[in-house]
């Protein structure tokens, strides 16, 4: 499948799936269940609104979603209390599969959700979306319910940035455009068809998620796309235009940390696949600078992109899902 064909056949607009009752009919006809996972860390300001909207529109009014779960990294604010008060199932990531130890990172939460949640399809939605709407879910599950060939659906959108001065009408996606898109262009050119490969909103079939490794940190989305592309080809991937996502801005310093983690994941994955050979041992310390009265000081951050194995390799998961060895 060439890129132009893929863009024509596997790129959608959320309005194509706005008949939620029809999606419910398709879900029930196929005997599927759908779980919504919201990974959190100190998101008390936005988590309540997300849960209220998703629960009222997609669980009560229409039975599209079968469970809503918050997987929390150890928030120090009232994120968990707010989420529970509005009816979400709330879990601490460190209490899921505790025998495997605790790791910190969004990817860790996403991975543990596969064990904890029940659905045949899992939808991941970030917790900091200021303009949350049911389309963030139905726009992603729609392609899965309408095509058995599609296994993993990414969101893309216009990304205004919420700043202290209000909404800035353009911006966002900076790490994609200056890092991930150039890397994909060099080594996995078909994946450049993904408009926003780092978007935090996506839906996937359990049978896919349980068979791919999960970096615990910034590299999880990049890793997913490469693995699914290698396993199933571009036909298994799709993307949906969700129009607009308003979120908080990140500093250039934080984006540097993100890029550093993604590069670790990318080079490790590329070497494992034989795309790049002979990569030397990578350094895991990122040096940045800050200044005070024209005095420059270096600040070092150790960023280690560890990786969790495919969940299907975990004995406790196989027992829970009653998989035969």
pLDDT tens digit sequence for 65-88: 999 999 999 999 999 999 999 999
Q: Residue 299 class from Cβ within 10 Å (0-12 exposed, 13-18 middle, 19+ buried)?
A: exposed
Alpha-carbon span 117 to 170, nearest angstrom: 36
Length of the chain: 325
pLDDT given at position 168: 44
- CB-based contact 23:57 (threshold 8 Å): no
Per the confidence metrics, is the pTM higher than 0.75?
yes
Beta bridge partner(s), residue 72: 40, 92
Q: Which CATH class is domain 3-320?
A: alpha beta
pLDDT, one tens digit per residue, over 244-269 is 888 666 788 889 999 999 999 999 99
**pLDDT, mean of residues 93-101:** 96
Handedness of CA 156, 162, 167, 172 (dihedral sign): negative
pLDDT given at position 251: 84
């Amino acid at each position: 499948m060439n890129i132009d064909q893929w863009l024509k056949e596997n790129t959608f607009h959320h309005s194509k799936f706005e008949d939620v009752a029809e999606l419910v009919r398709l879900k029930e006809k196929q005997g599927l269940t759908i779980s919504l996972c919201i990974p959190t860390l100190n998101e008390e300001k936005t988590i309540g609104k997300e849960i209220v909207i998703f629960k009222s529109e997609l669980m009560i009014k229409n039975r599209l979603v079968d469970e809503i779960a918050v997987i929390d990294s150890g928030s120090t604010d009232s994120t968990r209390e707010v989420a529970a008060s509005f009816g979400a199932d709330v879990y601490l990531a460190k209490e899921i599969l505790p025998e495997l130890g605790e790791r910190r990172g969004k990817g860790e939460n996403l991975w543990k959700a596969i064990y904890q949640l029940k659905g045949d399809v899992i939808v991941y939605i970030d917790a900091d979306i200021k303009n949350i709407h049911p389309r963030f879910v139905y726009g992603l599950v729609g392609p899965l319910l309408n095509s058995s060939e599609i296994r993993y659906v990414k969101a893309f959108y216009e990304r205004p940035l919420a700043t202290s001065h209000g909404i800035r009408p353009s911006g966002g996606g900076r790490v994609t455009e200056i890092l991930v898109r150039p890397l994909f262009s060099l080594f996995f050119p078909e994946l450049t068809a993904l408009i926003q490969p780092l978007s935090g909103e996506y839906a996937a079939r359990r049978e896919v998620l349980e068979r791919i490794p999960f970096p615990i940190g910034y590299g999880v989305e990049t890793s997913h796309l490469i693995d699914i592309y290698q396993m199933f080809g571009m036909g298994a991937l799709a993307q949906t235009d969700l129009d607009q996502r308003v979120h908080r801005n990140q500093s250039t310093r934080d984006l540097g940390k993100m890029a550093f983690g993604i590069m670790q994941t990318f080079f490790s994955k590329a070497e494992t696949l034989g795309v790049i050979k002979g990569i030397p041992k990578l350094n895991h310390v990122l040096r940045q600078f800050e200044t005070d009265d024209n005095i420059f000081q270096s600040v070092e951050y150790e960023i280690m992109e560890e990786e969790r194995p495919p969940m299907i390799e975990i004995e406790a998961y196989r027992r829970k899902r009653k998989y035969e060895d």
